[in-house]
C-alpha cells in the first residue's frame, strides 16, 4: 500500500495512470494477469473492464508463494509482451530489482537496497525512498555524497 500510494502521489497531474490489483491486464486471449501495481501512459489501452496491452510499468511484490513465478514466469511474459519496466519488490528482504526492456529483452536488473531511492527509468516522475516503503527504523533522508 505504501508503494502504490507513493506512485499515485508522484503521478498526480501527469498523463500516466496507476492501477492496483485486481486490475486485469490482457496481453492476449490466453495471457491475462493481475499485477500488484501497474502504470499506463497510453489512454487508448484503458478499457472499462481491463488494460489492453502492455503497461509502461509493472510492479510485483514478492511473497513466499509467488516469488519464483514472479521472477521467472511473469518476467518472461512481461518481457515478451513489451512491458518497458518491471519492478520486483521483496518486502521481507527489503530490496527491489528494476528490469528495463532493451532491444534484446530485459537487462540483468538493477538492485535497490532499503537505504536507496528507487527511481523509474521509464517514468521520470517516480522516485521513491525505499526506507519509507519498508519503514526501516533509523533511516532518514540520505543526501547524495
Tell me the CA distances in angstroms from 19 to 16, 40, 72, one per residue in order: 10, 8, 23
Q: For residue 30, what pLDDT band results from cuts at 50, 70 and 90?
A: very high
Q: What is the bridge-based pairing of β-strands 57-61 and 95-102? A: unpaired
Q: For residue 124, what pLDDT band results from cuts at 50, 70 and 90?
A: confident
Domains of the chain are 2-133 (3.90.1570.10)
CA 5 from centroid of its chain's CA atoms? 13
Q: For residue 141, what pLDDT band results from cuts at 50, 70 and 90?
A: low
Please give the share of the chain, as a percent, with pLDDT higher than 90: 83
d(CA 39, CA 10): 12
3-class SS string, 10-29: HHCCCCCEEEECCCCEECCC
pTM: 0.91
Residue for grid cell 489512454: 43
pLDDT tens profile 68-112? 999 999 999 999 999 999 999 999 999 999 999 999 999 999 999
Amino acid at each position: 500500500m505504501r508503494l502504490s500510494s507513493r506512485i499515485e502521489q508522484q503521478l498526480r497531474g501527469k498523463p500516466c495512470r496507476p492501477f492496483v490489483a485486481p486490475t486485469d491486464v490482457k496481453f492476449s486471449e490466453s495471457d491475462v494477469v493481475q499485477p500488484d501495481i501497474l502504470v499506463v501512459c497510453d489512454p487508448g489501452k484503458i478499457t472499462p473492464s481491463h488494460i489492453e496491452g502492455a503497461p509502461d510499468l509493472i510492479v510485483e511484490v514478492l511473497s513466499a508463494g509467488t516469488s519464483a513465478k514472479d521472477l521467472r514466469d511473469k518476467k518472461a511474459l512481461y518481457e515478451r509482451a513489451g512491458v518497458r519496466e518491471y519492478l520486483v519488490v521483496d518486502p521481507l528482504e527489503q530490496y527491489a530489482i528494476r528490469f528495463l526492456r532493451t532491444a534484446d529483452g530485459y537487462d540483468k536488473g538493477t538492485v535497490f537496497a532499503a537505504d536507496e531511492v528507487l527511481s523509474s527509468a521509464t517514468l521520470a516522475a517516480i522516485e521513491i525512498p525505499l526506507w519509507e516503503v519498508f519503514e526501516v527504523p533509523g533511516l532518514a533522508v540520505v543526501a547524495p555524497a
